[in-house]
């Protein structure tokens, strides 16, 4: 998968087989790596809770180097809203973040915490 560097609904519809994010031309995938005091402060659980309020799929996980990685897919505006809310909620712990943009894969059907 090629990443472009860029600084910076199951249950809802009641159909179990219905994908959470509808595929449109503005769909994309973003990898966001957060650094700072982001592990051991509820970052992943906060991201999961916030993702439930947005039409996004993906996952969040701790990395061995102390960062938190978030892979998120959906419409660009939904991803922006999700990340804005996550940044606001976790601002005291985030020192920096790096975003990479990739084509939408459609392979993620929910937002999960990976361990």
Domains of the chain in start order, with CATH, are: 4-114 (3.30.70.100)
Sheet of strand 94-103: strand arrangement: 4-6, 94-103, 27-36, 68-75, 56-62, 111-114
SS3 27: strand
- For residue 44, indicate whether it is catalytic: yes
66 vs 13: CA distance, rounded Å: 37
pLDDT score, position 7: 41
pLDDT score, position 3: 43
pLDDT score, position 24: 65
User: Which residue from 30, 35, 22 is spatially nearest to 3, judged by alpha carbons?
Assistant: 30
User: Which residue from 115, 80, 108 is spatially nearest to 9, judged by alpha carbons?
Assistant: 108
Q: Which of 48, 49, 61, 62 is catalytic?
A: 62
Each residue's pLDDT tens digit, 64-115: 999 999 999 999 999 999 999 999 999 999 999 999 999 999 999 999 999 9
pLDDT score, position 47: 98
59 vs 88: CA distance, rounded Å: 19
| Position 13 pLDDT exceeds 50 | no
44 vs 46: CA distance, rounded Å: 5
Each residue's pLDDT tens digit, 29-70: 999 999 999 999 999 999 999 999 999 999 999 999 999 999
SS3 44: helix
Q: Which of 44, 49, 98, 114 is catalytic?
A: 44
């Amino acid at each position: 998968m090629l990443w472009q560097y860029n600084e910076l609904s199951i249950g809802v519809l009641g159909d179990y087989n219905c994908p959470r994010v509808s595929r449109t031309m503005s769909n994309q995938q973003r990898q966001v790596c957060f650094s700072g005091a982001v592990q051991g402060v509820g970052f992943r659980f906060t991201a999961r809770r916030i993702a439930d309020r947005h039409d996004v799929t993906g996952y969040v996980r701790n990395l061995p180097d102390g960062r938190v990685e978030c892979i998120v897919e959906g419409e660009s505006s939904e991803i922006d809203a999700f990340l804005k809310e996550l940044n606001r909620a976790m601002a005291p712990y985030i020192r920096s973040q790096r975003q990479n943009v990739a084509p939408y894969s459609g392979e993620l059907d929910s937002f999960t915490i990976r361990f």
